Amino acid sequence: SAAANLDFVAEFEQVVGDRTPAANLCIPLKFKISNEVQEAIKSAAANLENLVNNVEACGFSFDKYGKEFIKSQKLSPDSYIQMAMQFAFYRLHKVPAAHYESAATRKFLHGRTETIRSCSV
């Protein structure tokens, strides 16, 4: 229960006692950056600024059907939307989209998050 957990924390704190705050143990890292690297950083920042300024987004509300209809067709709403996005990208650009999906393996020994790069076109 929550109360038992709080009791454990209170008892553990008394056993361990006071510790030095982590901030006192940290030291700032100082980097020596060459002019070449500084110029590369400035160039990357300018490129990012251009990319950000050239993004165009448009949204709309679709109310013809929703997730219940998709489920009634024995489809996953998430996979349905993923396919719709990939198809829309393909129709716009005539090439498959670069796709990223994470997969959790945490229930297995040493589990972690893995990356899946799939293309369904």
Exposure string for 18-56, b = 16+ CB within 10 A, e = fewer:
eeeeeeeeeeeeeeeeeeeeeeeeeeeeeeeeeeeeeee
Q: For 100-114, how does the pLDDT look when each residue is reduced to its tens digit (9 = 90+)?
A: 777 888 788 887 878
Q: For 85-105, how does the pLDDT look when each residue is reduced to its tens digit (9 = 90+)?
A: 889 999 999 998 887 777 888
pLDDT at 31: 92
Averaged pLDDT, 23-43:
91
Contacts of residue 96, Cβ cutoff 8 Å, sequence gap at least 6: 86, 89, 90, 119, 121
The residues with which 113 forms a beta bridge, in sequence order, are: 104
Q: For 34-71, how does the pLDDT look when each residue is reduced to its tens digit (9 = 90+)?
A: 999 999 999 999 999 999 999 888 888 888 999 999 99
* pTM score of the predicted model: 0.47
SS3 of residue 116 by DSSP? strand
